[in-house]
Amino acid sequence: MADTGTDAVRWERRTAPELRALAAQDALVVLPVASLEQHGPHLPVWTDSMIGHACALRAAAQAAGAGTPAIVLPPMWLGMSEHHLPFGGTITLDYATFHGVLRGVCRSIRADGFRRLLLINSHGGNIDPLAVSARELCVEFNMPVVATTVFHVAGDKIGQLLDTQPGVQHACEAETSFWLHLDAAQVRQEEIANTISAGSDAPGAPFSRFWSFAERAPLTGVIGDPRAATAEKGEKLLAVVAAALTAAMRDARLWSAPDAVWEPGRAWGRHDRAVPGPAVPAPGAA
């Protein structure tokens, strides 16, 4: 696997006294939120967890090097993946448990002395539930809890690096490129020719309901064309996502104190608090 020089920002490789010192520096805690699910016949079920963790580590190392301490938890490898169950190899949570795990992480890092949490998502099925959880946790714990998705944070820069699709899909050109860059031995390249799905009849926006991947990506569970994947694209994708995440880590606006809307009497208080004052200013923020 490619060496990204990120050991110093890995929570699991620090001692308790070292983590206590980071809390005293107001370090930002980063939790990659991912999944364990099928990624076609050519990619491991660990794909989303690998991609999210790699992006978080690269960004945290860059932020720390620029004066914003950050520390990355091991990836939360259980997500909302029931739509992948028809293809096997998938382990999933329900929403109540998903939110409960995130809540436990928030309570724990607060007990450890940390006061900010960035949730870096790398699985499409987590986007909506994670947005709801982040808002609820922000209010409940009166701390900035920010959620984003690696495939959205870099905007159209992702699509500019791809040849066959406008953005990241599933087990596709982009995700296969990440693997080819970070650990090419994990890609079953002899299976790539067998990855193209039949067309799906499942309607999309503006309607929302449950659709399994057996309906959305028949036969293979793949959306997109991994035949165009290269290690060079994977390297560039990692770089643009990490740069965008680093900027977010250093953006003081994201880390202001949430409005205490449930505070007794808040409804009769001031209503001109358009931009809450910083709870804990981001060290070294631009």
Chain segment 195-215, per-residue pLDDT in tens: 999 877 777 788 989 999 999
Report how far residue 74's alpha carbon sits from residue 238's, in angstroms, rounded to the nearest whole number. Answer: 18
Confidence of residue 273 (pLDDT cuts 50, 70, 90): low
The single residue listed with the structure tokens 């991947």 is 213
List alpha helices for the chain, DSSP H: 16-24, 47-65, 95-111, 127-141, 150-153, 157-160, 173-183, 213-216, 231-249
**Please, are residues 2 and 50 in contact by the beta-carbon 8 Å criterion?**
no
Q: Say how many C-beta atoms besides its own lie within 10 A of residue 2's C-beta.
A: 12
Pairing status of strand 70-72 against strand 28-33: parallel
Query: CA-CA distances (angstroms) from residue 205 to 71, 195, 234, 236?
Result: 37, 25, 29, 30
The pLDDT value given to residue 275: 46
The pLDDT value given to residue 202: 77
**Please, are residues 214 and 86 in contact by the beta-carbon 8 Å criterion?**
yes
Q: How far apart are the first and last CA of the chain?
A: 32
Is the bond into 206 cis (omega within 30 degrees of 0)? yes
Report how far residue 99's alpha carbon sits from residue 74's, in angstroms, rounded to the nearest whole number. Answer: 17
Fold of domain 9-258: Rossmann fold (3.40.50)
The single residue listed with the structure tokens 């028949």 is 218
Taking the model in full, what pTM does it have? 0.91
The pLDDT value given to residue 272: 61
The pLDDT value given to residue 40: 97
**Please, are residues 159 and 167 in contact by the beta-carbon 8 Å criterion?**
yes
Task: Concatenate the DSSP letters of all residues of 147-193 into one string.
Answer: EEEHHHHTTTHHHHT-SS-SS--BSSHHHHHHHHHHHGGGS-GGGGG
- % residues pLDDT > 70 (the chain): 93
Mean pLDDT within 161-187: 97
List alpha helices for 31-70, DSSP H: 47-65
Is residue 221 helix, strand or coil?
A: coil
Residue of 169, 183, 162 whose CA lies nearest to 233: 162
The pLDDT value given to residue 1: 40
Give, to the nearest 10 degrees, the angle between helix 47-65 and helix 231-249. Answer: 50
Mean pLDDT within 56-80: 98
Burial class (CB in 10 A: 0-12, 13-18, 19+), 69: buried
All residues at 6 or more sequence positions from 112 whose CB lies less than 8 Å from its CB, including other chains = 19, 20, 23
